[in-house]
Chain A
Amino acid sequence: MKQRFALLGFMGRGDALSKLHELVREVRVSRVMTTAVLTLPPDATMRELKDLLREHRISGAPVVEDQKLVGVVSIEDLIHALETQQLDAKIRDYMTREGLVTAHPQEPVMEALRRFEVTGIGRMPVIDARDKLVGIVTRGDITVALLHALQDLYNEAEAMQDRPQYFFEALESENTSLQLRYRVAKGDFSGGGDASAKIKRALLRIGGSPQLARRVAIATYEAEVNLIIHTHDGGLILADIQPTEITVVAQDSGPGIADVDLARQPGYSTATPEIREMGFGAGMGLTNIERCTDKMSLWSALGVGTRLQMIFKVSPEETGEADKT
């Protein structure tokens, strides 16, 4: 199970850095560019440029004729025009025509980023194969888009992390269950309760309510302690978690219970005085288990072993969904 979870964890979380690498290669300029571009025709005046730049607080604009990019004009060109008091001059006389640095809608943003790096420019008109202007892209557009994409990935991973019950919904089968297995060692009093605590934590993580987790944990704890105290060589705890029912089985290979009916009586215990001194052996274990389970069955044979099965029905209030409403 650990392996399967590790795999799911890998698929869900990934590594942020490798995801970023993937994104800069995968995300295309067309996804991050602005398509509503403010442009000017070559016949517009430098005064019109001044008004446009001032009104929209921008520092330049593509110059477009018949939808095609024919140049770019910037605040620097405007300053030249102001210096020579040529505000009524046409833009075509001041714009840059040669060596325009542009981007293509289908190229990965990484390529665009590289060009920004090399040229030091702040924005690039985006043109298609026929030189038609389709958008404009800035470094900021790319950064923001990548951050959003990363955020989406992170949110997805978080949702998986917080609500692993999604796994149940995502996996299709006639009957999906999560199985947890724990080995309990004979006489390991200091580790007593570890398996129960882990099952409890698992239930809470997959969306079980605190009440459900609590009654499963109490019953499992008692079964776990029985394995520690009474067995020859410990035993196994198996939890099978399904959306509507949880089954926990504690089994061992001996010594077995001589009289199962007697063992089920409240207060009956075969624990030694030493064990009772530690607070165990009250003879209430099986009584507690019965109280917490919807169905309990105990099978035992002397010299063979004991198998205790505990079934917990998950009521709608216990799925954790009800808690949130």
Chain B
Amino acid sequence: MHIVVCVKQVPDTKIIKINPKTNTLDRRSAPAILNPYDAHAVQAAVSIREKTGGTISVLSMGPPQATAVIKKSIEIGADRGFLISDRAFAGADTLATSYALSKALEKINKEMPVDMIICGKHAIDGDTGQVGPGIARRMDIPPVTNVIEVSEVNLEEKTVLIKRKLSNGYELIQAELPCLLTVEKEINQIEYSPMPNMIKAARYEPVIWAVSDFENVDRSQLGLKGSPTIVGKMFTPPRPEGGKKIEGSVDEQVNQLMDILMEKKDVLTLQSSK
């Protein structure tokens, strides 16, 4: 079983600041981390490998320092990693990103046939959730989104049983291998990495590919050139203003609150007054 996990380096949006003038993310204000959903994707691959055996490869696109997220994936338990890094990829939107990643996946698939691709549900800096399904479309394999459990992998039948989260419940489906999953955080808990993984990751040097390493690449589909997305407007939503604060002793507070509620029409209507 060969699983490829696609991972992305993102700024930690929990602490990132927004430049009030340009409304863009001030990337220097936050450390770069492995996209949390992608960490769950790697962990999901590790859990599957425990049952089926095989190899986990991770794939990322980004500047050279994005090797850090590949090393992090090795800590979680991946076997090897590939980074595609080239100026030609810069400025890519989800369409161009899925194209570039699919080219890398073709190359990986040639060397070792891929049975499953796992992505995080979305990246926390863009929140689009489009790259995973985009790759599936380009590779012509079924995309299965919002995955919260991979219950059974049958390598002989080339099938996999998957539980999906829907807005009104769950869906249990069987998909054919190879397929692409995008996973929710609920799928697992990231385990505390064992020491041998840590040592392996510290030593690991990912393979780095440039555009010239790929065959049959249409350069017009890469980077900014291949990105039809236009950002129309960006704004920071205003902070919600705090409501009125009621102070005083408990009795006073209750009385004040009752006064306010009584003043508002249709909030409290006394039965007797009707």
Bind each other:
no
